[in-house]
Structure 1
Amino acid sequence: MRIPAKPPLDGLKRSLDKRRAEPVRMPKDGFLRETFELPRAQARAKAREWLERWPRQAYWTEIESWCERPGDVIEFTMRRLPTAD
């Protein structure tokens, strides 16, 4: 019984490398996300900055998730719509 040869994966590898090299990909839900890991005071300031720059009413800006890390560091993800349309 002959074992079939494995298909070449060069094309797949090139495709994956190209996809991973893209700087920003738009998620399927349309929101832009950015994750931060900052000391508590700086985390509050960064969240406030986002909410002032992209108002919640127009961009649906919000803190999507957050967790407390050792050393009073907060890791959080902000999300917003790309435009206010």
Structure 2
Amino acid sequence: MAKFPPPPLDGLKRRIDRNRQESAKGAGGIYVRQTFQLSREEARQKAREWFAEFPKAAYWTEVESWRQLDGDQIEFTMRRLPTAD
């Protein structure tokens, strides 16, 4: 039985990266998004600042996604509505 090599994943990786960048810019959506890469403590502080400045009840503020990077770095995306109307 012939063994086939796994398919290359470069195209898929580029597509995922492009989608993440477009999502962070708010392309096509109603939300304002901003992505940060900070130390764990700085990330917690930044999220608290967002929730204080843009209350969840009015702006639907949330941490949309996050991941832990090497070291004590956290990459995360905050999302909120542009206005509280």
Q: Same fold per TM (> 0.5)?
A: yes
Task: Please give the per-residue CA displacement for 1:29-65, whole angstroms capped at 9, x wherever unaligned.
Answer: 2000000000000000000000000000000000000
- Aligned-partner Cα distance in 1 for 2:35–2:26: 15
Match of 1:83?
Answer: 83
- Aligned-partner Cα distance in 1 for 2:58–2:64: 16
Any conservation in 1 of the 2:33–2:80 contact (CA below 8 Å)?
yes
Equivalences, count: 61
Match of 1:16?
Answer: none
Is 1:58 the counterpart of 2:28 in the alignment?
no
Match of 1:30?
Answer: 30
- Aligned-partner Cα distance in 2 for 1:47–1:82: 17
Considering fraction of residues, name the structure with more helix.
2
Identity of aligned residues (%): 57
CA gap 1:50/1:73 in 2 versus in 1, 3 angstroms: same
Match of 1:5?
Answer: none
Superposition TM-score, scaled by structure 2 size: 0.68
Unpaired runs of 5+ residues, structure 1, are: 1-24
Structure (1 or 2) with the larger CA radius of gyration: 1
Quote the offset at 1:79 in angstroms: 0.4
Match of 2:21?
Answer: none
Quote the offset at 1:74 in angstroms: 0.2
Unpaired runs of 5+ residues, structure 2, are: 1-24
Q: Which runs of 4+ in 1 moved over 2 A?
A: 25-29
